[in-house]
Structure 1
Amino acid sequence: MNNLDLPVTRYAANGDINIAYQAMGTGPLDIIMVPGIVSHVEFMHELIGYTAFLRRLSTFARVVTFDKRGQGLSDRISGAPSLEVRMDDVRAVMDDVGSKRAVIVGFSEGSAMSVLFAATYPERVVQLVLIAGFALASEFQSANLEERIAQRVRNWGTGELIKTVIAQQASNPDAISQFGKLERNAASPGGIKAILLLNAQIDVRPVLPNVRVPTLVLHRQTDAQIPVALGRSLAAQIPGAKFIEYPDGDHAFWSGDTEPMIGDIEEFVTGHRDSSSSELERVLATVLFTDIVDSTRSAAAMGDQAWRRSLDSHDQLARQMLERHRGILVKNTGDGILATFDGPGRAVKCALAFSTAAKQMGLPLRAGLHTGEIEIRGQDVGGIAVHAAARVMAQSQASEVLVSRVVTDLVAGAGLKFTERGSYELKGIPGRWDLFAASA
């Protein structure tokens, strides 16, 4: 598979039910990713960071993802599958890909089933990794369970779940819209109700002492979906389990700075940590983030086909502007771009030209720039400088190009003008930041 290609969806038969799965990478060991409450093996690749996370794992393993029965591209069923049934579906997927033994990585709700699988089929499990997991569902659910489930069902398909799964994107209307689409693709309201009712009964505490495979439990302290205390408790009840917690981050394993977590997984399953975790290429660059103002409202007003044509025009314009100013397109973000430049002056000029041209097309942009050290991660980039540029953009108004003070200091004498916009606290980044609006 080419590094830029997405894996092909295949199906594993378990009786009359077909389980959709994808495999990525050709490493010497297999990793089976057990999903959380919602999944769709194809649409999940639309979520920022998800594909990059799997590709990073695939540098040292063959990575298999799947949709549990009743969800995503797997066959729909009546009711919800029990942990025992889901466990058998994992066996069916492993058989179909020819995996005799694998590392089982369970996420969120999937952690409970992964524990059960490891205890039941230890001969098929090399190691067990549990991310943002729990043993007893009632420990993090509100007292009024029926009302909570009814509210979740009423809001299903709106993206409401993003508030606790990817909290850092909870104020981004485009991210909410995208997550709502994931919800609708993953399950119907009736289907998710059945799953929620079943999940409320999860209690694998009696099974935990029977887990005899090496186990790694990972949890973020700021997880808004599953409190970190439940991860600590889960690890404490598994004989010999290793527990690592991270000071910040979302519930979704693919969100934010994922390298520490991936590095810990790599070290646990391979015994070393010599991939990109310790040898990331670091360079100084100017990072540009843009997005289209009120894109969700514009899409609704224009209709899908017209909006798609506008996005195509936007993407073509972005490529032209980047080529003209020697920028590198890292990726499209749905309704915007992430790009890098080796010169801050050209970066600002590109942002201004792009903003002006896009406005003439009826697509006003927000743009933010920051210069700092970035990490080259294959086709992607990471590091504080990337997060800072995104946060600067978030403060921008329509058709405005905002930059950090370091950018203004570096382009002195380049014929650019800057107007003070004030001092801001940028979410997740220490200190106060002086921001400036750029003009030619």
Structure 2
Amino acid sequence: MAGRRFQAARIQFASRFDLDIAYQVLGEGPVDLIVMPGPFVPIDVMDAEPAMYRFYRRLSSFCRVIRFDQRGMGMSSRIGSDATVTPSCWAEDAITVLDAIGSERAAVLASGFTAVSALLLAADHPDRVSHLVLVNASARALWAADYEFGAKSDGANPFTTIAHEPDAVERGFDVLRIVAPSVASDRAFRSWWDHAGNRAASPSMARKSSEVIAGADVRHKLSSITTPTLVMHRRDSAFVGVEHGRYLGDHIACARYVELPGNDSLYWIGDAGPMLDEVEEFITGSRGEADAERVLSTVVITDIVGSTARAATLGDDRWRDLLDHHDATVRNTLDRFRGHEINTAGDGFIATFTSPSGALDCAEAIVDAVASIGLEVRVGVHAGEVEMRGDDIAGMAVHIGARIAALAGPSEVLVSSTVREIVAGSLRTFTSRGVHDLKGVPGPWHLYSL
């Protein structure tokens, strides 16, 4: 994976009669892998979610990945007849896309209750499916006398009704907390999740699709699947219980079942590394070395000035209250300027931005915002490649940002010459703070105050 660039994939369209199916192709691996839609996340917003971006980057390092919006969803054609909202029709959409790109046979990855379309695809079109990968998947959603771990019909109703209303959370039904509890309190993820859902489909289309998924039962097809199959399920998944995965493992003759730790049903959330290792070995026969992903970011590091003395003056309780107010103020400012909080370090924050100008605007706004609650911060800003390590970042760019922040004065935004050069022409005014040696960093560094 090292040295390869992951570029935004162009959205194209595959036609079937009067339908246009939107799709993307990522990577150039020797094996084609088509990802069945699910949950309701359209392809044009997937790369805006950092964890999803990283998941697909890893997939595309060993496969040519194809992802698409099924009919009625995202950028694909809207449909007027309920008769074409079925798992079989969604399987046909996958065939349409494979035909458009000239792929005779592909591995298929599917997750959740929407995996019913992948199971139909593998059972009815074995000549088109080389491998089947099922993650937190199921052949049926609802309870039956011979399927006792399915959801009772009254328990499934909110997913087909209130779940698709814009005020679902306010009415006490929080889908995200059920399907991905580890990110339910992440405001940036929740904002993206809401945006993705709104772009995916109208409430009526989403309800209809959910009703179809809830009513689907493809258990009778499992014995027909002869494709090599990998079934993976997270042990504590609440949305799609682990019994669903065990059932698939027991009833697909050529299946290998792997149980993983975790409680997130969304396949790309949580510790996806072991899952991706399994997929790579299953499809290619070996596990490659998963190099740390390196991305170009602008790093902003803040630190409260005189925090130790202030805490001693105020006492523990009052200082804790003020620190909580500071944290809320910084987070609100990061949200406003679309910054991504990485972590809190000591009495400050580490955040990343895709735009250096956005980072500088946010840094100035943080200085002003915390001043209103009686605090001063110092801020360091640097742009460079960072290593993505799960939800954290590492690398020389982070160290440089920290060293610069340590040299900043009270209420000062101090930036590297790299940042200054990138935003040249933006009409910003910088004041030279001279050349400095940064501890542990090679060479002299010219720093500037914003």
TM score, norm. by length of structure 1: 0.68
Q: Distance in 2 between matches of 1:18 and 1:150?
A: 28
1:235 aligns with 2:249: yes
Q: Compared with structure 1, are the counterparts of its residues 179 and 147 closer, same or farther at alpha carbon in structure 2 (3 Å cutoff)?
A: closer
What is aligned with 2:66? 64
In structure 2, distance between residues paired with 1:355 and 1:51: 37
Structure 2 equivalent of residue 122 of structure 1: 126
* 1:107 shift after superposition: 1.6
In structure 1, which of residues 343, 346, 350 is the aligned counterpart of residue 405 of structure 2? Answer: 350
CA–CA distance in 1 between the matches of 2:79 and 2:19? Answer: 9
Aligned partner of 2:34 in structure 1 is 32
Query: Residues 358 and 169 from structure 1, CA distance in 2 versus in 1: closer, same or farther, beyond 3 angstroms?
Result: farther
Q: Is the 8 A contact 2:380 2:402 kept in 1?
A: no
Q: Superposed, which structure 2 residues align to 1:26-175 within 5 Å?
A: 26-78=28-80, 79=82, 81-139=85-143, 140-144=150-154, 145-155=156-166, 160-175=174-189
Q: Does 1:179 align with 2:217?
A: no
Distance 1:179 1:236, change over 3 A: same
User: Residue type of the partner of 1:74?
Assistant: S
Paired position in structure 1 for 2:430 = none
Q: Which residue of 2 aligns with 1:315?
A: 359
In 1, Cα distance between the equivalents of 2:409 and 2:109?
Answer: 43
CA drift of 1:328 comes to 4.6
Partners in 1 of 2:35 and 2:410 — Cα distance? 41
**What are the within-5 Å matches in structure 2 for residues 295-306 of structure 1?**
295=333
Alpha carbons of structure 1 residues 355 and 246: separation in structure 2 relative to 1, 3 Å: farther
Q: Contact (CA 8 Å) 2:223, 2:253: kept in 1 or not? A: yes
**Partner Cα separation in structure 2 for residue 57 and residue 219 of structure 1:** 18
Pairwise CA distance, 1:29: 1.1
Which residue identity is paired with 1:20? Answer: A
Give the equivalent residue in structure 2 for 1:294.
332
Q: Look up the equivalent residue of 1:102 and give its one-letter code.
A: A
Are 1:132 and 1:226, in contact at CA under 8 Å, matched by a contact in 2?
yes
Q: CA deviation at 1:149?
A: 2.6
Contact 2:381–2:404 (Cα < 8 Å) also in 1: no
Distance (Å, rounded) in 2 between the aligned partners of 1:90 and 1:289: 45
The match for 1:21 is 23
Q: Which residue of 2 aligns with 1:306?
A: none
Once the two structures are overlaid, the 10-residue window that deviates more, 338-347 or 44-53, is 338-347
Alignment RMSD, CA only? 3.8
For the residues of structure 2 that align with 1:207 and 1:186, how far apart are their CA atoms? 29
Tell me, in whole angstroms, the C-alpha distance in 2 between the residues paired with 1:236 and 1:298.
Answer: 49
Q: Give me the identity figure in percent.
A: 29
> CA 1:289 to 1:208, structure 2 compared with 1: closer, same or farther past 3 Å?
farther
Contact 1:288 1:351 in 2 (8 A): no
Do the aligned partners of residues 72 and 322 (structure 1) sit closer, same or farther apart at CA in structure 2, a change above 3 Å counting?
same
Letter in 2 for 1:232: R
Q: Work out whether residues 235 and 259 of structure 2, in 8 Å CA contact, stay in contact via their aligned partners in 1.
A: yes
Secondary structure at the counterpart of residue 142 of structure 2: helix
Whole-angstrom CA distance in 1 between matches of 2:186 and 2:206: 24
Is 1:270 matched with 2:271?
A: no
Aligned with 2:237: secondary structure? Answer: coil
Cα contact 1:41–1:67 (8 A) shared by 2: yes
Measured at CA, do residues 281 and 70 of structure 1 come closer, stay the same or move farther in structure 2, by a change above 3 Å? closer
| SS across alignment from 2:231 | strand
8 Å Cα contact 1:156-1:189 kept in structure 2: no
TM-superposed deviation, 1:127: 1.0
Q: CA deviation at 1:349?
A: 5.6
User: What pairs with 1:415-434 in structure 2 (closer than 5 Å)?
Assistant: none
Q: Give the number of equivalent residue pairs.
A: 342
User: Matches of 2:158 and 2:105 in 1, distance apart?
Assistant: 42
Pairwise CA distance, 1:235: 1.4
**Conserved 8 A contact 2:179-2:264:** yes
In the alignment, residue 191 of structure 1 is paired with which amino acid? M
- Map of 1:403-422 to 2, 5 A cutoff? none
Maintained 8 Å contact 1:217/1:243: yes
Query: Which of 2, 5, 8 matches 1:6?
Result: 8
- 1:146, CA displacement in angstroms? 3.9
Q: Can you list the C-alpha shifts for 1:415-438, whole angstroms capped at 9, x where unaligned? A: xxxxxxxxxxxxxxxxxxxxxxxx
Q: CA 1:174 to 1:60, structure 2 compared with 1: closer, same or farther past 3 Å?
A: closer
Deviation at 1:164, TM superposition (A): 2.5
C-alpha distance in structure 2 between counterparts of 1:169 and 1:181, whole Å: 15
Amino acid across the alignment from 1:321: G
Match of 2:235 in 1: 221
Partner in structure 2 of residue 250 of structure 1: 264
Gaps of 5+ in 1: 301-308, 360-409, 412-440
1:224 Cα deviation (Å)?
Answer: 3.0
Q: For residue 75 of structure 2, what is the amino acid of its counterpart?
A: L
Question: Which residue of the partner structure matches residue 431 of structure 2?
Answer: none
211-220 or 104-113, which deviates more: 104-113
Are the counterparts in 2 of residues 118 and 213 from structure 1 also a CA contact under 8 Å?
A: yes
Contact 2:234 2:242 in 1 (8 A): yes
Question: What residue is the counterpart of 2:218 in the other structure?
Answer: 204
1:276 aligned partner, one-letter code: E
Q: Secondary structure at the match of 1:12?
A: strand
In structure 2, runs of 5+ residues without a counterpart are 144-149, 303-326, 339-352, 364-378, 415-438, 441-450
Q: 1:346 to 1:199 in 2, by over 3 A?
A: closer
Question: Residue 13 of structure 1: CA displacement?
Answer: 0.5
Which of 1 and 2 has greater Rg? 2
Measure the CA separation in 2 of the matches of 1:355 and 1:254. Answer: 41
